[in-house]
Amino acid sequence: MEITEQKSSDVVTLRLSGRLNATTALAFEEKILGRIESGERHVVIDLAQLDYISSAGLRVIVLAGKRLSAENGKMVLCSLTDRVREVFDIAGLSSILSIYGSHDDATRGLQA
Amino acid sequence: MSHHALSITCSNRLAEIEKATELIEAFGTAHGLSAEVVFKLNLALDEVVTNIISHAYDDEDEHQIAIRVALDGEGVAVRVEDDGRAFNPLDAPRPDLGLDLANRPIGGLGVHIVRSVMDALEYRRENDRNILIMRKRTGDGSNEGARRIE
């Protein structure tokens, strides 16, 4: 898995590619919690290039979402592939997370 | 029927799961399994083996996890055998998917995912080993989800 990062005004975007599983979840956890720790409050997680996610990856997303909410921040996700979307659906997370079809929509959603 | 089966032995390191994934993808291609079925088999196996590696062992020793994937008339059966502490995934508490994010526990979704993507699970403890058999029907997919494990 690779994570690339982009900052635009007060929005930080983390783009994940490859596979987010128990092997790679720790790197993602350290990255996203590090950004929250350093004061980021508006986070987009772009999953357009993510081929696979397991519960280990969902755990980090739930953790980061809760952490940001507690700090009056906001996390949104965008561009889930069908397979990844299916795992979010099974976990009952699609309805309680903010998920958008594109990065533009996600950025707008953060302002809402 | 032995050519319709695949045996994989993983040691208790997370990186080994990737090896199993690749072998099952090749097995799926060779036997004409749909991408959907292969995805679900790999997801379920990933969850199960990750649980074993993360929670089953009290020592730091190397352990072997034996995986066997076999085709029969109905679909695919995946058997996972380990020598860790007894754990019956059928007894795992079900997550409350109705909770909002603030009230959601962090984690606890692995077994739920396994139940959701497979059609049947069987567990037994035998000779101090856990044996889990997961079944996935193949075919035209018309039964997909119709008999999800309750």
Select from 3.50.50.100, 3.30.750.24, 3.40.50.11540, 3.40.50.620 the CATH code of A2-100: 3.30.750.24
Closest Cβ opposite residue B101 in set A22, A59, A96: A96
Model confidence pLDDT, tens digit, residues B41-78: 999 999 999 999 999 999 999 999 999 999 998 999 99
Q: What is the pLDDT of residue B58?
A: 94
Interface test with B, best of A32, A72, A96 (most B CBs within 10 A): A96
Round to whole Å and give the CA distance between A3 and B64: 32
Residue A55, H or E segment = helix A55-70
Closest Cβ opposite residue B109 in set A58, A83, A96: A58
Round to whole Å and give the CA distance between B34 and B49: 22
Closest Cβ opposite residue B100 in set A23, A52, A96: A96
Model confidence pLDDT, tens digit, residues B21-48: 999 999 999 999 999 999 999 999 999 9
Q: Which residues of A touch B118 (CB under 8 A)?
A: none
Domains of chain B are 2-137 (3.30.565.10)
Q: Report the amino acid identity of residue A9.
A: S
Question: Global pTM?
Answer: 0.92
Q: Do A55 and B15 touch (CB under 8 A)?
A: no
Model confidence pLDDT, tens digit, residues A67-96: 999 999 999 999 999 999 999 999 999 999
Q: What is the pLDDT of residue B3?
A: 66
Q: What is the pLDDT of residue B140?
A: 53
Residue of A nearest to B16 (CA): A23
Model confidence pLDDT, tens digit, residues B91-143: 999 999 999 999 999 989 999 999 999 999 999 999 999 999 999 999 754 44
